[in-house]
Homo-oligomer: A and B are copies of this chain.
Amino acid sequence: MTECAHNGAVNIPSPGRPRSAGRPTLDEVALRAGVGRGTVSRVVNGSPQVSPEARAAVRKAIDELGYVPNRAARALVTQRTDSVALVVSESEDRVFGEPFFAGIVRGISSALADTQLQLWLAMAQSPAERERVEHHLTNQHVDGVMLLSLHDADPLPQLLERRGLPVVLGGRPAQMLADDERLNFTAQLSQLSYVDADNEGGARIAVGHLLDRRRRRIAAIAGPQDMAVGVSRLTGYREALERAGLGVEERLIAYGDFSEASGERAVHDLFAADPSIDAVFAASDLMAVGALRALRTLGKRVPDDVALVGFDDVAIARQTDPPLTTVHQPVEAMGREMARLLVARIGGAASSSVMVETHLVRRASA
């Protein structure tokens, strides 16, 4: 009842007797094996500095007691968790719906396969989710983070880096494309690691292909302009036209959100504004599929009346009617590169970035 009795009973475990309650700890194992805590730790971590007999005794004690090391305690001293996070700023539907994410994850997994690192995937779209993820990330819950699908001037990467967490971006941050007025800011940005496909080049090639096919009224279905990938594919479209000496007409540009439905809508809008269109460049295959459907509704033959080029080279692009000419980006390789960069940064390497090439896949739609 008194504090002393209480303290005596609970706070000071009698040294000779292992506590049976709860999961076993290092020194219960040590006690049973007749060695010190340090030795058990060394056995668990595979240090060579321990005699065969001691090792055997410890191993025996470990599985008699069913001992499992406590990650929190270990992380506290080693400052590592042996796990990394992939955070996607999109809704579940989009993450699971678009094949892009599957490819990235596959690439990351394969690169992480021969590592101790465990990959944890989180989706964070709503502000509440984002804040929660941020809280879990800012402290030592993972050793590094890969960020996918950033919108606008998302402050998350800089925030995390400032906290000392290695960050690798999938797709370059939108701000890096914007005006360089805030030098200070962009200087900070250039410290960030990212992996990106050559979206601008890919779009140039796609539109160039349409130009080669003698198309002159080339419309674009652009992606969201708050993401770098949306902006640079549109830039590539503009550049290709300008290099060919053609002007860019704003009414030949419609904006979608990479979804099939938005591609369908865009085509209707485009043709309502200008029926003379003879080619369409869609900034994603999903939008191209929607466009295809809309074109059929409008009675346009593809590619005879209207040629169509997509972007991404997702699996369904092969199965549309007609099969879709599109720009291939090596998604899985991008995932692998992201993981590779992150592992390097966790290992102390300086931040660096990777740009992967894109190329045209010629099928029947153009």
Contacts and interface: CB of A to CB of B under 8 A. Distances in A.
Contacts of A136: 71, 82-83, 118
A78 to B, nearest CB: 9
Chain A interface size range: 35 or more
A120 B121 contact: yes
A139 B83 CA distance: 13
A68 B105 contact: no
A102 B98 CA distance: 11
Nearest to A73: B76
A72 interface: yes
A120 B145 CA distance: 13
A81 interface: yes
Interface stretch (A89-97, A270-278, A295-303): A89-97
A68 to B, nearest CB: 5
A23 B76 CA distance: 13
Contact of A93 (B106, B129, B162): B106
Interface in A120-156: 120-123, 126, 128-129, 132-133, 135-136, 138-141
A140 B102 CA distance: 28
Identical copies in the complex:
2
A116 B135 CA distance: 10
A141 B71 contact: yes
A108 to B, nearest CB: 9
A105 B109 contact: no
Given A139-B70, A140-B70, A123 B96 contact: no
A60 interface: no
B128 A122 contact: no
Contact of A71 (B73, B119, B139): B139
A115 to B, nearest CB: 9
Interface string A8-38: 0000000000000011000000000000000
Interface in A29-73: 66, 68-73
A92 B102 contact: yes
A323 interface: no
B118 A133 contact: yes
A72 B81 contact: yes
A122 B122 contact: no
A92 B71 CA distance: 27
A120 B122 contact: yes
Contacts of A224: none
Nearest to A117: B132
A356 interface: no
Contacts of A116: 132
Interface in A137-179: 138-141, 162-164
Contacts of A140: 70-72
A294 to B, nearest CB: 16
28 contacts: A23-B139, A23-B163, A66-B162, A66-B163, A68-B139, A69-B139, A70-B139, A71-B140, A72-B72, A72-B75, A72-B81, A75-B75, A83-B136, A85-B120, A92-B102, A92-B109, A93-B106, A96-B96, A97-B102, A105-B123, A109-B123, A113-B126, A113-B129, A118-B122, A118-B136, A120-B121, A121-B122, A121-B123
Given A70-B140, A72-B75, 14 more contacts: A23-B139, A23-B163, A71-B136, A72-B72, A72-B73, A72-B139, A92-B105, A95-B102, A109-B123, A113-B128, A113-B129, A116-B132, A121-B121, A121-B122
